[in-house]
A and B are shown apart, each in its own frame.
Chain A
Amino acid sequence: MKSKTALFLCSALMLSACDGPNGNTKEETKESVTFELPQAFPSTYSAQPSETVLIRNARIIDGTGEPTDATSLMITDGKIAAIGADIDGGDADVIDADGGFVTPGMIDIHSHLGNYASPGIRAHSDGNEITSPITSEVDAEHGVWPQDPGFDEALQGGVTTLHILPGSANLFGGRGVTLRNVPSRTVQGMKFPDAPETLKMACGENPKRVYGDKGGPGSRMGNVAGYRKNWVKAAEYKKKIEAGDEPTRDLQLETLAGVLNGDILVNMHCYRADEMAQIMDLANEFDYKVTTFHHAVESYKIADLLAENDVCSAVWADWYGFKAESFDGIPENLPFVHAAGACAMIHSDDQYNIQRLNQEVAKAWAAGNRAGLDISKDEAWQWLSTNPAKALGILDQTGTLEVGKRADVIIWNGDPFSTYSRPQSVFVDGARLFDVEQRIKPQSDFRLGTEVER
Chain B
Amino acid sequence: MTRTLLTLTAALALATPAAAQDMFIDNATIVTATDVRPDTDIEIRNGRIARIGANLRASEEVPVQMGGFVTPGLFAPYSTLGLVEIGGEASTNDIGSEAEGSSVSELAADSFNPYSVHIANARMRGVTHAVVAPSPDGDSIFAGTGIIIDLSGDFGSVIDEAAFVHVAIGQRGAGLAGGSRAAAMAQLRGALRDATRTYDDPDDGDVLSRADAAALRPAVNGRIPLMVSVSRASDMMRLIALKDEFSRLDMILVGAEEAHLIAGELASADMKVIVDPQENLPASFDSVNASFDNVLILQAAGVDYAIANLGALGVSKAGTLNQHAGNAVGNGLSRQAAFAAITDTPARWFGLPTNSLEVGDAASLVVWDGDPFEVTSAPVAIMIDGENVGTDSRMRRLRDRYNPLSNSTQPHKYR
Contact = CB atoms under 8 A, between A and B. Distances in A.
Interface of A: 118-121, 149-150, 153, 205, 300-301, 303, 318-324, 327-332, 336, 339-340, 350-352, 355-356, 359-360, 362-363, 365-367, 370-373, 417-422, 446-447, 450-452, 454
B316 interface: yes
Given A336-B403, A373-B405, A153 B280 contact: yes
B30 to A, nearest CB: 20
B260 interface: yes
Contact of A419 (B283, B323, B369): B323
The binding surface of chain B is classed by DSSP as loop
Nearest to A317: B375
A322 B399 contact: no
B319 interface: yes
A442 to B, nearest CB: 14
Contacts of A332: 399, 403
Interface string B333-375: 0000000000000000000000000000000000001000111
A250 to B, nearest CB: 34
A450 B86 contact: no
Contacts of B327: 356, 359, 419
Given A150-B281, A420-B373, A330 B378 contact: no
B315 A451 contact: no
A37 to B, nearest CB: 35
Contacts of A319: 312-313, 316
B414 interface: no
Ordered nearest first, which 7 A-B pairs have the shortest CB separation? A419-B326, A366-B376, A321-B315, A322-B87, A420-B330, A323-B88, A363-B375
Contact of B378 (A153, A323, A366, A422): A366
A121 B375 contact: no
B237 interface: no
Nearest to B263: A454
Contacts of A119: 282-285, 287-288
B316 A366 contact: no
21 contacts: A119-B287, A153-B280, A153-B281, A319-B316, A321-B314, A322-B86, A324-B89, A327-B86, A328-B398, A331-B395, A331-B399, A332-B403, A339-B405, A352-B281, A359-B327, A366-B377, A366-B378, A371-B403, A418-B374, A419-B373, A420-B374
Nearest to B89: A324
A205 B283 contact: no
A167 B92 CA distance: 25
A450 B312 CA distance: 24
Nearest to A339: B404
Given A362-B376, A371-B399, A419-B329, A321 B118 contact: yes
Contact of A320 (B280, B289, B312, B316): B316
B238 interface: no
Contacts of A372: 3, 403, 405
A453 B410 CA distance: 64
Interface string B296-336: 01000000000000011111100110010011011000000
Given A119-B288, A149-B281, A321-B315, A452 B375 contact: no
Given A330-B395, A419-B330, A118 B283 contact: yes
Given A153-B280, A323-B86, A331-B395, A121 B404 contact: no
A219 B150 CA distance: 40
Given A301-B412, A356-B327, A370-B378, A454 B261 contact: yes
A421 B330 contact: yes
B410 to A, nearest CB: 15
B402 interface: yes
A336 B404 contact: yes
Contact of B282 (A149, A303, A339, A340): A149
Nearest to B312: A350
